[in-house]
Amino acid sequence: MLELLSVLLGGALGGMVRLALGNAVGRQLGAHLPWGTLAVNLSGALAMGMLAGVLGFPAPGVSNTAWSLLAIGLLGGYTTVSSLSLQAVTLWQQGRETAAIGYMAMTLVAGLAALALGAWLTGGLA
């Protein structure tokens, strides 16, 4: 039960932080590309890498309240795969195919790099 409550609390907090940061970045950088979602996803990948470097990955089926709160709840509520997908399709439908492909590529490549950087910074990728 504690694990479920941890996911609930983390998800609520992550969603609120996502909204605040996404809107702030969007206001600063404009609406030409979905910069707010990109900033959220890349910072979330960095944070997940750091978290994995500090906590390690829990074994499947093993209860881990800290992982449930921070990785599943907080970062799960914070990152935005559904928004990423919708925004890429919207760019494509607007006839901006190159922007849609670039946005997806930037998210995937930079997201993987951010995750690896976060794990490396915490000693998780020695």
Output Rg (C-alpha) for the chain, integer angstroms: 16
Nearest 10 degrees: CA dihedral of 16, 20, 21, 24? 170
Q: Which residue has the tokens 């609406």?
A: 31
Element (H, E) at 51: helix 35-55
Q: Is 76 annotated as a binding residue?
A: yes
How far apart CA 82 and CA 70 sit, in angstroms, is 20
- Feature table: binding site for Na(+): 76, 79
- Feature table: binding site: 76, 79
